[in-house]
A and B are shown apart, each in its own frame.
Chain A
Amino acid sequence: MAKRSFAVNDLPGFATIAIIVFLALYAPMAVLVVFSFNAGESPAQWAGFSLKWYQLALQNDQVQAAAITSLKIAFAAALLSTALATMAALGTTRRKNFKGQTFIYAMINQPLMVPEIVTAVALLLVTAAIKKATGYTGLGYLILAHAAFCIPFAYLPIRARLEGMDLALETAAADLYAGPWQCFRRVTLPLLMPGIFAGAMLAFVTSLDDVVITEFIKSPGQDTLPTYMLGQLRRSMKPDVNAISTGILALTLILLTAFYLATRTRKQPGA
């Protein structure tokens, strides 16, 4: 056997590109964080270190409420859409093609294919009618709407993952007298986890960023961070928005690290 001078899974230049990508990804973040401490109002000149934007942000009830609403909706929508997408992916993959499959696939990807403004206007009409009839003006409409358009974002990574999975493991489990539910819980689901995880992250991020649909369906007091900032777009953005974003970033990092550590300690030895 010829001696190779490289590791099997090392492809030339890939690592370099990846590192550059990570650096490029975080450059704007760094700028954001740095300027949130900028004493001056203009983002062009550095006018000294200051915490005043954080103080301003802490006093700005509106922007805090918007941030919290955004997070609430994103969590709920990501949860719901990932659950539904996982089920749908299981139902449409690794089976013999059945008649409605293309139809289901088209339905699931439909939210992707229409400009948001259209869905937004249509949803406005539907939710307005329901609001008039029932008087309910809670976050439910937003959560359901977000979950709906997040489904394709969660579905596609899960499906891609599922398609690449080897049926042999599940067949082996079945041979060992595992029932279908056991097989699912102990074999399929763990194997599928990276896909589900990827899907959930995509759904969360997509929901966080939504502007148009939220703008049209929101009820009083339900501004999300993007709609709040859309309103700011016409008049100048205040730098306290930088502070808020940094705050959310920090909070996210803390949450994720905690989550990561928690799941790490639960892993079985040797896994």
Chain B
Amino acid sequence: MKRTLTALAVLLASTAGAFAEGELHLYNWGNYTSPDMIKKFEDKYNVKVTITDYDSNDTALAKIEAGGSGFDLAVPSAGYVGIYAEKGLIQKMDLARLPNHKNIAPEWVDVSWDMGREWSVPWQWGTTGMAVNTKDFAGDINTSGIFLDPPAELVGKINVIPEMSDVMALATMYAGGKVCDDNPEVMKKVRDVLMAAKPKWMSMDYSTVEKMTNHDYAATVDWNGSGLRARLANPDVKWGFPKEGFGLWMDNVVLLADAKNTDNAYLFLDFIMDPENAAMLSAFARYANGITGSAAFMPDDMKDAVELNTPAEFADKGQFVTVCTGKALDYQNAIWTELQK
């Protein structure tokens, strides 16, 4: 017993204390940060970077709100930046310390959740749409009807990622509404459409890249980066932009209010706004970034990828998927629960 206690004490002592200098703690989505880029940063500035993963905006928010998290930077999705700011969890950035700030692409500077970009910088952005195996279905894939009113060839072979906000956004736009709509007539239609479609789906699962590559199912709601990866592994898979309206999202880096390594954080923020480094990020996760000039450094298979370059005909059909509140959230929750029960 004594030996156990001593062993335990030694173990605890050896793991205590992360108080060293030259560190940076990044809190990010899993499998979303290029290890090569991190290495480049670590070597350049002699800073040790730890990356800790989360798998949902809400988990991240809960942890950071609870306090004492120990992180310096986090990467919430667009809608959450405002929430973080409202709750006083992030600090305004001193733009004088970010010379690369001018590299942010003009269309991403004045965004609805952060005009002028003083609270966040772009990490990566993407769209939500349809990935379809064209061997099974040769018709028009640029529609949410693929999963909401499936053609006969695809019935029973469809997957829908269980991401409530993205799926509800697509369904609402299909029903003629807007993201976070609180019109009961529209939402009733959304519910009916979803409930009618559900029996025709095969599953609600996240591992789309693997499953589309292996042809476990023929079509899925997906994010464009995953669609790209699936296509690169299986050329039959093509990407569709739902013409009724498709989802847009962007993940942004924020500086936490209680960050301990602010100097290193600024170095990092500036670092990722350099076009070459932003391209490294994109090459890893396969999503577009918001930095001008990075296109020159992108890998070839991404430069002209249809997934990353929205065709002109759909240019204004994208709507940002934000965080719904109030009655809109109630509708979403009720419909989602009924959908999944």
Partners in one complex: yes
Residue ranges of A at the interface with B (Cβ–Cβ < 8 Å): 41-44, 59-62, 72, 76, 79-80, 83, 121, 124-125, 127-132, 135-140, 143, 215-216, 218-223, 227-238
With A143-B12, A220-B50, A236-B207 in contact, is A137–B18 under 8 Å at CB? yes
Bound complex: CA of A235 vs CA of B233, how far in Å? 15
Q: Known contacts A79-B4, A234-B30; can you find 19 more A-B pairs with CB under 8 A?
A: A42-B210, A62-B35, A72-B15, A79-B8, A127-B68, A137-B18, A138-B15, A138-B17, A138-B18, A143-B8, A143-B11, A215-B55, A227-B53, A230-B30, A231-B32, A231-B55, A235-B31, A236-B207, A236-B226
Q: Residues of A contacting B1 with CB < 8 Å?
A: 83
Candidates A83, A129, A130; contact of B4 at CB < 8 Å = A83
Total CB contacts across the A-B interface at under 8 A: 137
Q: Residues of A contacting B225 with CB < 8 Å?
A: 235
On chain B, the number of residues with a Cβ less than 8 Å from chain A's Cβ atoms is: 45
Q: Is the C-beta of B332 less than 8 angstroms from some C-beta in chain A? A: no
Q: Is the CB of A132 within 8 A of B52?
A: no
Q: Is the CB of B12 within 8 A of A235?
A: no
Q: Residues of A contacting B238 with CB < 8 Å?
A: none
Task: Name the residue of chain B whose CB is nearest to the CB of A44.
Answer: B214
Q: Is the CB of B69 within 8 A of A128?
A: yes
Q: Which of B7-41 contact A (CB under 8 A)?
A: 7-8, 11-12, 15-19, 25, 27, 29-32, 35
Q: Is the CB of A232 within 8 A of B31?
A: yes
Q: Is the C-beta of B327 less than 8 angstroms from some C-beta in chain A? A: no
Q: Residues of B contacting A59 with CB < 8 Å?
A: 35
Q: Which of B310-338 contact A (CB under 8 A)?
A: none
With A138-B12, A139-B15, A237-B207 in contact, is A231–B31 under 8 Å at CB? yes
Q: Is the CB of B53 within 8 A of A231?
A: yes
Q: Is the CB of B16 within 8 A of A128?
A: no
Q: Residues of A contacting B30 with CB < 8 Å?
A: 228-235
| A146: min CB distance to chain B, Å | 13
Q: Is the CB of B7 within 8 A of A42?
A: no
Q: Is the C-beta of B142 less than 8 angstroms from some C-beta in chain A? A: no
| A98: min CB distance to chain B, Å | 24
With A62-B51, A128-B68 in contact, is A236–B4 under 8 Å at CB? no
- B59-67, B111-119, B239-247, B271-279: which lies at the A interface? B59-67
Q: Residues of A contacting B71 with CB < 8 Å?
A: 220
